[in-house]
Copies of this chain bind each other. A is one copy, B any other.
Amino acid sequence: MINPFDDTYFMKKALEEAQAAYNKGEVPVGAVIVIKDRIIARAHNLTEQLNDVTAHAEMQAITSAANFLGGKYLENCTLYVTLEPCQMCAGALYWSQISKIVYAAKDVKRGFTVMGTTLHPKTKISGGLLEKEASELLKRFFIEKRNLN
């Protein structure tokens, strides 16, 4: 039997969140956190609306998932996020001991890989899923922003 709840399914949900950020004029990044095929947190970047550099999609999703679980460690959880996490978010994911991170687009300037941020040894990581969709939304955002200024 085919499981409809695969990585692509959940990344599409993260992309829906990124689209919601885009619609609000926010840098379009979205995230969901999943445990046993169930989405327990959805979030999108809100740094402009909240005037808060800490309001990245991942940070909100971590807080939300921990609140749902009633514990701060995200054991058996997977984060799907449309852009590679930054130092701050990777640092938060380190503390959360999350089991898996799946990201779409690579952030070659400020992603945790190029910045050398350490993840928890328990955390598995993979990148590139639906990268094209995530990147195109980001590119569209920055092109439109440039044309407005």
Q: State how many copies of this chain the complex holds.
A: 2
**How far is the CB of A97 from the nearest CB of chain B, in Å?**
9
Determine whether the beta carbon of B118 is less than 8 Å from that of A118. no
Residue of B nearest to A115 (CB): B118
- Rounded to whole angstroms, the CA-CA distance of A123 and B11 in the bound complex is 36
Give per-residue flags for A22-55: 1 if the beta carbon is below 8 A from chain B beta carbons, else 0.
Answer: 0000000000000000000000000100011110
Residue of B nearest to A64 (CB): B52
Contact partners of A118 in chain B: CB under 8 A = 87, 115
- Rounded to whole angstroms, the CA-CA distance of A96 and B21 in the bound complex is 20
Contact partners of A67 in chain B: CB under 8 A = 51-52
**How far is the CB of A54 from the nearest CB of chain B, in Å?**
5
Determine whether the beta carbon of A91 is less than 8 Å from that of B95. no
**How far is the CB of A141 from the nearest CB of chain B, in Å?**
18
**How far is the CB of A48 from the nearest CB of chain B, in Å?**
8
A66 within 8 A of B: yes
Residue of B nearest to A70 (CB): B51
> Could you write out 6 A-B pairs with CB less than 8 Å apart?
A51-B70, A51-B71, A52-B66, A54-B59, A87-B118, A88-B88
